[in-house]
Amino acid sequence: MKSRRIVSWFLFALIALTAAMVATTEKSSAIVQQQRSQIAIPIIINVTPSPLAFAPANASANAIVASFVRSAGAPAHYVDPVAALFAGARVVVAQTNQQAVRVEAEVTPNPNATLLTANNFSGPIPGEVVFTGFSGAKLTQSCAYQVKVQTTTVGWNLEQGLSNDFSSGFPGGDLANNTYLIAATPQPVATPFIVFPDNNNAFTEMAKNGGTQTYCVDLTITIPQGLAGGSYGTNAIYTLFF
């Protein structure tokens, strides 16, 4: 009788332990997610007056030419014979003002490349976002680009952030995003991007969702007052986990 009771307790304990282990395993797999894809969207801010502005300049096509004006009262031998030699002569100066270098790559298609993509950029150049404005200006691009997750996975996480500040005097936080599902309406307010190295090397969660989803990203940039003209760049990084 006593041994039966012991066996029953043992079986009960075994079943309870097994159930606990199964539960723990399921919980672990639900929490631990792997990075599946990461994309970077170049964001370029051209601040005017910019050194990138069009400034046509032509190399002189003339040869070296000397001309001289002689005082009317000066005798003929005051003329510098060296200068006279140059007058009207064509002197060719060897120069090379163009050089080229070849860029190559062997591309292999990546089956996971379409898990996370960015497309439908509002600007003229596909694959990048460009703002142009004066220092102190506040500029907005509505649905500057779309971020698309394309998977059948039920539960995934999408994180976002900037790779770097634009410069030491132009923090990445001056760029704010308003991110929303393409079929929905924008959020009430835009949120400044966090910058990965300024945020303890961490991104922030942008969305938790499942299946195929497309987000619109409105961008607002506030260019610091007194910022020197030039071109400033960073990347908006999106990382998919499931």
Partner 1 sequence: MRKSVGWIVTAAMLAMTFAPASAQTNVPGAVHVKWFAQAIVKVTLTPNYFTGFGAVKATFGAQPTPTHGPDAGPGVGQGSIDFGNVLSGTDYLYKYAAHLQVTTNSTTGFNLYGEGAADFVNQSGGSEPISSTVFYLNSTSGSPPDTNTGFSGALPFQRTAGTPSSTSFGLPPTIAYTGFPAPIAVSPTPTADFFYDYELKVPPSATGGNYFVWIVYTVVPQ
Binding segment (CB under 8 A) for partner 1, from list 23-31, 87-95, 138-146, 213-221: 87-95
Among 15, 17, 20, 113, binds partner 1 (CB under 8 A): 113
Count of residues in contact with partner 1, rule CB under 8 A: 72
Q: Tell me if residue 121 falls in helix, strand or coil.
A: coil
130-159 positions binding partner 1, by CB under 8 A: none
The least distance separating partner 1 from the CB of residue 187, rounded to whole angstroms, comes to 26
The least distance separating partner 1 from the CB of residue 140, rounded to whole angstroms, comes to 21
From residue 158 to residue 197, what is the string marking binding to partner 1 with x (rule CB under 8 A)?
-----xx-x-----------------------------x-
Return phi, psi of residue 153, to 5°. -60, 135
Binding segment (CB under 8 A) for partner 1, from list 1-9, 13-21, 120-128, 174-182: 120-128
Q: Nearest 5 degrees, angle CA 166-CA 208-CA 219? A: 30
Per-residue CA distances from 206 to 29, 144, 189, 209, 217 (Å): 21, 16, 15, 10, 11
Closer of 186 and 228 to partner 1 (Cβ):
228
28-67 positions binding partner 1, by CB under 8 A: 37-40, 42-44, 51-67
Neighbours of 238 (CB within 10 A): 26
Strand ordering across the sheet containing 204-209: 129-134, 35-48, 230-241, 156-162, 204-209
Closest CA to 166 of 208, 123, 198: 198
The least distance separating partner 1 from the CB of residue 38, rounded to whole angstroms, comes to 8
Among 81, 109, 188, 226, binds partner 1 (CB under 8 A): 109
The least distance separating partner 1 from the CB of residue 32, rounded to whole angstroms, comes to 19
Closer of 67 and 152 to partner 1 (Cβ):
67
Do 46 and 131 contact (CB within 8 A), yes or no? Answer: yes
Alpha carbon distance 98, 59 (integer Å): 13
Closer of 1 and 100 to partner 1 (Cβ):
100
Q: Tell me if residue 226 falls in helix, strand or coil.
A: coil
Alpha carbon distance 60, 39 (integer Å): 47
The least distance separating partner 1 from the CB of residue 41, rounded to whole angstroms, comes to 9
The least distance separating partner 1 from the CB of residue 58, rounded to whole angstroms, comes to 7
The least distance separating partner 1 from the CB of residue 115, rounded to whole angstroms, comes to 8
Alpha carbon distance 43, 231 (integer Å): 10
Among 48, 128, 137, 214, binds partner 1 (CB under 8 A): 128
222-241 positions binding partner 1, by CB under 8 A: 231-235, 237
CA quadruple 205, 207, 212, 216: dihedral positive or negative? negative
